[in-house]
Structure 1
C-alpha cells in the first residue's frame, strides 16, 4: 500500500472513530494513565498517541508509513515534544524500552498478510511489555470481511474529499482486496485523483485466542463494537484485552 497521498486525507476519513473511547478503555485497564508507558502500534497520524499523552501517558508510536509519522510529529511537536515516533513495521518490532501497555488500534492488525506475521507481532509486543503489561487491540470480525465489506461499492462525498471504494474477496479465507479512488479538492478548486489498493485479512475469534495464548498472553476480556458485550454473529469490530 502506498501511503504518501493517503496520509493527507487520513484524518478526515477517520473523524468518526471514537479515539477518546479507546483511551478510556486503556485508562480503565491500567487503573489510570498518568506516567504509564504506552506503545501505540500502527499509530498512523498520531491521533490516539496525542490523546493518551494529554491524559498523562508517556507514549511511543510506531508506524510503517513515514508520511503518516510526519503528520503525527507535527501534531505532537508543540504540546508534547517528548512524544516519540519510530518508523517500524509492527511484525518487526524493535524498541529499546519496555512498556506498561501496547495498543494496536482500528483494525491495523488486519493489514498483516498472514498468520506468521500476526504471531511475530504478538511475540514482539509480548517481549516489549513489562510483566503484567496490557495489550489491547481490535480487528474486523469475519462477518464484516465476508458480508458487510462485500456489499461495495461504497462512496463518500464531502467538500474537499470524495472516494469510491470497491471490494472483492481475497484468495485467503476472510480476506479482502479494496480498490479506492480518491478525489481531493485543491486550493484552486480543481480535483486531483489518486488510487489506493488495500489488503486486509482477519481470523475467527478463537484463532486469535489460540495465537495469543501460544505467545504467552492471558486473555482477560473479548468484547465487540465499543460495548461491554460479548461478540455476536453480526458483530463488526472485535476487541481483545490481554496480559503478559
Structure 2
C-alpha cells in the first residue's frame, strides 16, 4: 500500500477539486437502498487527511478514521478541532480494533492493495469488523481507466507556492500502474523551494474478480455502479471509477 510521507502537508489542497459531494450523495443513496439497520457508526478506511471523515462526523455519524500513514492521521487529527473522530493507524489487512455499521473506502484506496492475497485478506478483515446487517462501500479504478487514461501519461500542475509533475507507467500485470511524483513546495518567508518525491503502486482487477473475492469473504454484492451513478444507468464498461455496495447478512 502507498505510504504517503510528506504528501500529507499538501494532499488536501491537491484534492480540493475532488468529487467529495457526489461521493457522499452516492453513499447516502446506497445506504437508503440496501441497509436494513440504522447506520450510526462508520469506519472510513484509508481516510487520508480526514476531510470526508470530518464531514460525516458533522452530519451526525460516529466516525472512525483509519489509515496506514501516521502523517496523514496527524494532519487529520489536527483539523478535528471538536475531537469528534476516533483516529487509528492500521493496515486494512490487519483490522482488529473497530466494529461499525458501515465501512467506506473512497478514491481508489483499495487499488493500493496490489496483490490478490492481500485484497482478499483486507475484504475478510472488513467483513469481520462490520456489525450484522452492515454495509461496505468502496470504489476502484476500472481497468479501462488505468490502461487508457493513466498508464503512459504525464500530468503537471504549477502554482506560485506549489507544483508537481506526475508520471504514470504501466506495470507488467493487467490493471497495474506505477505513479512517480515530484513536488516542489515553497518554504515560508523565503524564495526557496523544497523538493520531495513520492512513488506509488496501484493495481485494479475485473468486476468479476472483485465480485468473487467479496463473496469468498462472506459479502453479498448488492450492486456495482459506475461514476457516482446510483441508478445503475451508466454502462460499466465505459466507466472510469467503479463502486461496489456489499452487505453482511444480519445472521452472519
Q: Match for residue 29 of structure 2?
A: 28
Within a 5 Å distance, the mapping from 1:210-221 to structure 2 comes to 210-221=212-223
2:196 pairs, out of 190, 194, 197, with 194
1:232 aligns with 2:233: no
Contiguous gaps of at least 5 residues in structure 2? none
Q: RMSD over aligned Cα, in angstroms? A: 1.8
Between 1:162-171 and 1:49-58, the stretch displaced more is: 162-171
Q: Secondary structure at the match of 1:5?
A: helix
TM-score by length of 1: 0.93
Equivalent pair of 2:183/2:195 in contact (CA under 8 Å):
yes
Shift of 1:2: 4.3
Q: Match for residue 42 of structure 1?
A: 46
1:207-244 Cα shifts (integer Å, max 9, x gaps): 11111111111111211111233443331100111101
Shift of 1:145: 1.1
Provide the C-alpha distance between the structure 2 equivalents of 1:114 and 1:45, rounded to a whole number of angstroms. Answer: 25
1:134 aligns with 2:138: no
Q: Match for residue 113 of structure 2?
A: 112
1:93 aligns with 2:69: no
Provide the C-alpha distance between the structure 2 equivalents of 1:143 and 1:241, rounded to a whole number of angstroms. Answer: 20
Provide the C-alpha distance between the structure 2 equivalents of 1:231 and 1:38, rounded to a whole number of angstroms. Answer: 29
Equivalent pair of 1:222/1:230 in contact (CA under 8 Å):
no
Q: Match for residue 61 of structure 2?
A: 57
Equivalent pair of 1:34/1:57 in contact (CA under 8 Å):
no
Between 1:177-186 and 1:51-60, the stretch displaced more is: 177-186
Equivalent pair of 1:34/1:55 in contact (CA under 8 Å):
no
Q: Match for residue 12 of structure 1?
A: 13
Contiguous gaps of at least 5 residues in structure 1? none
Q: Secondary structure at the match of 1:233?
A: helix
Shift of 1:15: 1.1
Q: 1:204 to 1:35 in 2, by over 3 A?
A: closer
1:84-135 Cα shifts (integer Å, max 9, x gaps): 000101111112x421100011000000120111111111110111111010
Q: Secondary structure at the match of 1:85?
A: strand
Equivalent pair of 2:168/2:180 in contact (CA under 8 Å):
yes
Q: 1:232 to 1:29 in 2, by over 3 A?
A: closer
TM-score by length of 2: 0.90
1:180 aligns with 2:184: no
Equivalent pair of 1:150/1:167 in contact (CA under 8 Å):
yes
Between 1:181-190 and 1:227-236, the stretch displaced more is: 227-236
Q: How many residues align?
A: 241
